[in-house]
Amino acid sequence: MNTHDLNRQPTTRLGCEKLEARENPAGNVIATILPDGVLYLRGDANNNLVSVQQYANGDLFAYGVDGTTVNGQSMVYIGNGYPTGVAFVMDAGNDLLEMIGVRTSGGIWGQMGNENDGLALYNVMAGALQPLMEGGDDIVVTDSVYIWGYCEINGGAGFDTIDYRTYGIYAPSYFALPNMEKQVGGPYGYY
């Protein structure tokens, strides 16, 4: 188990900030591998805080954070190996989706739903990245993210921020930030 990554817990702070103002209870996220090998995450109308972590040996886990459950449990072992993609629908509520060490030859795409959401990607490699943050004031955090294909992070309605941590995001093929009002961090961003 990669304790280095676990000890970082950078987005736990992000989650706590959001929880202070939350109105909804913690909900449940359904995590399942679809027949085509895509990891599918489905939140509910409550606050869903989930951390998907893949270790160097390929083991893939989903952890519920701050009361959120995954498939009714505090954490689930999804399996070993790289998913062919990651799709998510987080629905309403103040949601936080974190991915650490996740590798996929396919895309990472989905909808964070309305209200104030966070998407945090650390040490992630994927063929494409296309999240829709939708309504609310959303935050996207990236550190050591490499997207070799299409990369478009859409802030949606509201005041949305992308925060580049140390190594930000590297997306040499195509990179766009529609509806993203603020960029912080760097100097590394995309390049």
Which helix (DSSP H) or strand (DSSP E) does residue 59 occupy? strand 59-64
The yes or no reply on residue 131 touching Ca ion (CB under 5 A) is no
The yes or no reply on residue 48 touching Ca ion (CB under 5 A) is yes
- Out of 76, 85, 95, 169, the only residue in the binding site for Ca ion (CB under 5 A) is 95
Dihedrals φ, ψ of 37, to 5°? 90, 5
- Out of 93, 106, 107, 131, the only residue in the binding site for Ca ion (CB under 5 A) is 93
Q: Which residue reads 């309504």 in tokens?
A: 135
The yes or no reply on residue 160 touching Ca ion (CB under 5 A) is no
Dihedrals φ, ψ of 89, to 5°? -135, 105
CB 183 within 8 A of CB 161: yes
The yes or no reply on residue 98 touching Ca ion (CB under 5 A) is no
Per CB under 5 A, the segment of 6-14, 15-23, 76-84, 94-102 that binds Ca ion is 94-102
Q: Which is nearer to Ca ion, 98 or 138 (CB)?
A: 138
The yes or no reply on residue 106 touching Ca ion (CB under 5 A) is no
- Out of 98, 117, 143, 163, the only residue in the binding site for Ca ion (CB under 5 A) is 117
Cβ atoms within 10 Å, residue 151:
26
User: Minimum Å distance from CB 111 to Ca ion?
Assistant: 9
Cβ atoms within 10 Å, residue 99:
27
The yes or no reply on residue 134 touching Ca ion (CB under 5 A) is yes
Per CB under 5 A, the segment of 6-14, 73-81, 110-118, 176-184 that binds Ca ion is 110-118
Query: Which residue is closest to Ca ion by CB?
Result: 93
Q: Which is nearer to Ca ion, 133 or 171 (CB)?
A: 133
The SS3 call for residue 17 is helix
Q: Which residue reads 């040996």 in tokens?
A: 57
> Residue 99, Cα to own-chain centre: how many angstroms?
5
Dihedrals φ, ψ of 58, to 5°? 95, -10
The yes or no reply on residue 136 touching Ca ion (CB under 5 A) is yes
Dihedrals φ, ψ of 12, to 5°? -60, -40
User: Minimum Å distance from CB 74 to Ca ion?
Assistant: 18
> Residues interacting with Ca ion, by CB under 5 A?
43, 48, 90-91, 93, 95, 112, 117, 133-134, 136, 138
